[in-house]
Copies of this chain bind each other. A is one copy, B any other.
Amino acid sequence: MIKILVDCFGGDHCPQAPVEGALKALATYPDLYILLTGDEAILQKELEGKAYDKSRLEIVHAPEVIGCDEKPTDVVRLKRNSSMMKGIILLRDRDDIAALVSTGSTGALVTGALVRLGRIPGVIRPAFCPLLPTMDGGIVGICDSGANVEVTPAHLRQFAIMASLYLENVYGVSKPRVALLNVGKEAEKGDVIRQEAYKLLQETPSLNFVGNMESRDLLSGSYDVVVADGFSGNVLVKTTEGTALELLKKLKKEIFSKTIYKLGALLMKRMFADMKEFMNYQNYGGSVLLGTSKVVVKGHGSSKAVAVEKCIEQAYRMELSRLSEKIEAEIVKYEHYDV
């Protein structure tokens, strides 16, 4: 049995989305056991009348609510009975629980995971690795995308190792092509951190490092893993999502501006629906936090049930593939560089 905690409060569609997502995942995986964290009465009510295997679902009462403006450090210190912090503490304390899925505050989740959960031995900094769809039907992982706004070359190398193992073991990508996000292709581009990281990545035999990537090539399908500091990685991911969304909005507006366009769009209805699905980041799961001692998956704040379901699936597959052990075994080989 694989036991996964689902934080039921914090996202835009709580608790409906996490609860429904959890029930969907339960129905798919017979060896999955879910612990929902949050206010028990509210969760009981949400579950009322729904069909699911009651022997594989349990509620962990955690009534405290995290406010929008609360500082991550305050949340970690003061809100131990919030749905997120209770989840993190249980994950740390109970050997039988494998993972936590949350759509709550990113800052609180990262801080909580760092302070209360700890890292895989050898890992300097855990990092987020969300996935985006590429135009050839594949996926690309971006690591880091927001956990660390400042990094060193050694951090970047660890991000590369962790994300590469993630894509390989959880998504079956053989020898993931790893690129370094930079302002140009040439090895000497970027600041000193990028130049040093380029060398380190080149010298790491277990990586299939293919060089620098310019951001306009992210969706081309030429890369499986893109390594970045958390600041520019965040810009990379959010700009891609934002541009896609804005263009879809614009397209829709244009279509509704003329009858003949509406007619044309009618013939292409199926195609537009497919495109929309293709670009819907809710279909690609959450942003996993690589490098923490146990699996933590962060879903978009706007996650609906299907997105939460995907996050649970990711956590499940990460645990099944024993990713943490593989990361530890690999990271330790290069630890002596990381000073």
| Interface set of A (CB-CB < 8 Å, partner B) | 135, 146, 149-150, 181, 183, 190-191, 194, 214-220, 230-232, 234-236, 238-247, 249-251, 254-255, 258, 260-261, 263-268, 271, 274-275, 278-279
By a CB distance below 8 angstroms, the chain B residues around A244 are 243, 247
Distance in Å from the Cβ of A129 to the closest Cβ of chain B? Answer: 16
Which B residues lie within 8 Å of A183 (CB)?
A: 146, 149, 230-231, 234-235
Question: Given A239-B215, A246-B219, A264-B267: A149 and B231 within 8 A (CB)?
Answer: no
Q: How far is the CB of A220 from chain B (nearest CB, A)?
A: 7
Which single member of B234, B254, B261 contacts A215 (CB below 8 Å)?
B234
Within 8 Å by CB of A271, from B191, B232, B239, B254, lies B254
- Give chain B residues whose Cβ lies under 8 Å from the Cβ of A215: 234-235, 238-239, 242
A278 nearest CB neighbor, chain B only: B250
**Considering the chains assembled together, what is the distance between the CA atoms of A241 and B236 in angstroms?**
12
Q: Which residue of B lies closest to A259 (CB)?
A: B267
**Smallest Cβ-Cβ distance to A251: which chain B residue:** B275
**Smallest CB-CB separation from A248: which chain B residue?**
B247
